[in-house]
Amino acid sequence: MKKTIERTFSNFLLVCMLSIFFSANLLAQENIQRIFDDNSENSNLRTSVTIPDQLLHGKNPTIYIENSRIINVTGETSPKVLKLLDGTSSSLLLDNNNLYSQVEVITITLNRASDLNNRLDLSRINGFPSLRYVYVKCLFECTDQQIRNFLLNTDSVTTVFYKVVNPS
């Protein structure tokens, strides 16, 4: 009788642990959200996740990176935003830089589909203890799956947003 109860309890624990493991993996894959313009026919597809508009479009202290170098730092306080102006400069995020310590959002502009080949492993970036969001702007049509393939280990940040922007 005692062995039956122990076996039942062991099976119950195993099922619970597997459920938690697979749920966590599923949730990690769902932290990528597409942003649509308000006037878009798909604007009703927005999720219930709050978009950090003030961080994405506000006048925050910002680090600008292009051609694998920091080209400008704005603001009088620690930067809250880091903008990669091209898809090939992500290697700078692997360096531990004091400027990154208060960055809450990284914005990555992908100018062409080939930029998706320069994958970024978010678990390897250094010096971003305040990072909460990654925002990818595609200047071409891109999909959730392409963003998942481009950004590795997205579970290390709260949310990944991406938007397809038609350059004018």
pLDDT, tens digit, 9 for 90 and up, residues 7-56: 665 555 445 444 554 444 444 446 788 988 755 555 444 444 577 778 87
- In this prediction, residue 44 carries a pLDDT of 47
State how far the Cα of 23 lies from the Cα of 102, in Å rounded to an integer: 30
Q: Is the pLDDT at 152 greater than 90, yes or no? A: yes
- Mean pLDDT for 110-122 is 94
pLDDT, tens digit, 9 for 90 and up, residues 59-113: 899 999 999 999 999 999 999 999 999 989 999 999 889 999 999 999 999 999 9
Provide the token pair at 17.
């642990």
